[in-house]
Amino acid sequence: MNLDLLPLALADGFSYAGLLFLVALGLTLIFGVMGILNVAHGAMYAFGGYAAASLIQLLMSRGEVPSVVLVLALFAAAIVVGTLLGCLLEIGLLRRVQDKDPVLQLLVTFGAFLILDDVQLLIWGGSPYTASEVTGRLGTIELFGATFTAYQLIFIPVVALCAYGLLQYFLRHTRVGRQVVAVTHNAEVATALGIHAKRIRLVTFIVGAILGALGGALSVPSTSLVPGVGTDMIVLSFSVVATAGLGQITGALIAALMIGMARSLAVYTFPEFEVVVPYLIMVLVLLIRPYGLFTVAQARKI
């Protein structure tokens, strides 16, 4: 590979990592607090994406819409989908298996994922969905002799970093956030101290679900959603979370960047390896550090 191309590959990896991080962030947050590996997170991604695409198509069909409204529509769709599905899953399912074997919990979320996958097919059918209008409105940027869309190169990474910053602020400096941290440490003690652990779990799950849905919603302006899109994302974001160490937020950020960059470097050098690169990294990391890169032994998970 020509060294001139390195900055291009890194720019690609950066924008790819943004989306990946958003989804992984939700997954790792839910694991950190609830101890559940939520496979249904992939469905949040897909539903968020489809809902955002439908909403934008609806808005566009009503004539001229300002760009700000379209961008806000992406977030609105994610918040609505995340809240609804999050409540449904947490109250309807996860609360009931809270004290059961983790394997059972995993199977329950897996079952929910399969059901939601079919519900999605029922609602939106098999045709590809998209909402590329937003990307077009934000224009393009010339960088190192190549053209990038501002949406992918700047908007998505900025949103991802904002989400990271806001979440850190929420956990450290707000009342509810500190309660989340307390429940993460030890739910029983937290309850004894007067924290409503049930409610904290629900809040966490909804925030996680919104992050997953946001990943999907932000992907529609530049991609086409097809059935099965959630499966791919859950596998990939799991590799990010596992590389970082389950429950590690900053770790997920770094792992997403690593995987994003490595993947785009692979496209430039050994395109055949593009698909396996995230998993190669995961395997290598887990061989050396079985609990992930950033796990501190027995310390707080958030």
Partner 1 sequence: MSKKAPFKVLCSWAAVVVLSACPSLVWAQTGKPATLPLGITTFLTGSASVFGIPGKAAAELWIEEFNAKGGIDGVKLSPRFIDEGLGGDKFLSEYRRVAQDAGEKVMVSAISSGNCNTVAPVAEDLKVLNVMWDCGTEKILEDRRYKYVVRTQANAVTEMVSTVVYLLKTKPDFKTIAVINQDYAWGRDSWEIFRNALLSLKPDTKIVAELFPKFGAVDFSTEITRLQALKPDVILSTSWGGDLDTFARQASQRGLTKQSLLVLPLAESSLERLGTALPDGVIVGARGDHYFLHPETKNDPKHKEFVEKFRAKTGAYPIYPVYHMVAALEGITAGYQSAIKKNNGQWPTTDQVAAEMHNLKFRGLTRPVQMREDGQGLEDQLLGVTKKVSEYPFPVLDKIMIVPASAVTPPIGEKSPEWVKKLKPDLLNNDQFKTFDYGG
Specify whether the CB–CB gap between 177 and 250 falls below 8 A.
Answer: no
In the block, residue with structure tokens 């469905």: 43
Report the nearest approach of partner 1 to the CB of residue 164 (Å): 21
What's the distance, Cα to Cα, between the start and end of the chain in Å? 39
Report the nearest approach of partner 1 to the CB of residue 64 (Å): 16
What CA–CA distances, in Å, run from 128 to 70, 137, 167, 216? Answer: 20, 21, 32, 14
63 vs 82: CA distance, rounded Å? 28
Residues near partner 1, by CB under 8 A: 4-5, 8-9, 11-13, 15-16, 19, 121, 125-128, 130, 132, 135-136, 140, 145-149, 152, 219, 222-229, 232, 263-264, 267-268, 271-272, 274-275
Closest CA to 230 of 219, 242, 246, 222: 219
Report the nearest approach of partner 1 to the CB of residue 128 (Å): 4
15 vs 115: CA distance, rounded Å? 31
Report the nearest approach of partner 1 to the CB of residue 264 (Å): 4
Radius of gyration of the chain (CA): 19
Please identify, using beta-carbon distances, which residue of 72 and 146 lies nearer to partner 1: 146
The helix/strand/coil state of 293 is coil
Question: Partners of 140 in the beta sheet?
Answer: 149
Please identify, using beta-carbon distances, which residue of 4 and 101 lies nearer to partner 1: 4
Give 127's DSSP letter: S
Please identify, using beta-carbon distances, which residue of 12 and 90 lies nearer to partner 1: 12
Report the nearest approach of partner 1 to the CB of residue 71 (Å): 16
Please identify, using beta-carbon distances, which residue of 91 and 143 lies nearer to partner 1: 143
Closest CA to 204 of 82, 49, 75, 48: 82
Please identify, using beta-carbon distances, which residue of 82 and 278 lies nearer to partner 1: 278
Q: Which helix (H) or strand (E) holds 148?
A: strand 146-149
Please identify, using beta-carbon distances, which residue of 144 and 169 lies nearer to partner 1: 144
Report the nearest approach of partner 1 to the CB of residue 31 (Å): 24
Please identify, using beta-carbon distances, which residue of 200 and 217 lies nearer to partner 1: 217
Report the nearest approach of partner 1 to the CB of residue 151 (Å): 8
Closest CA to 281 of 245, 234, 243, 251: 243
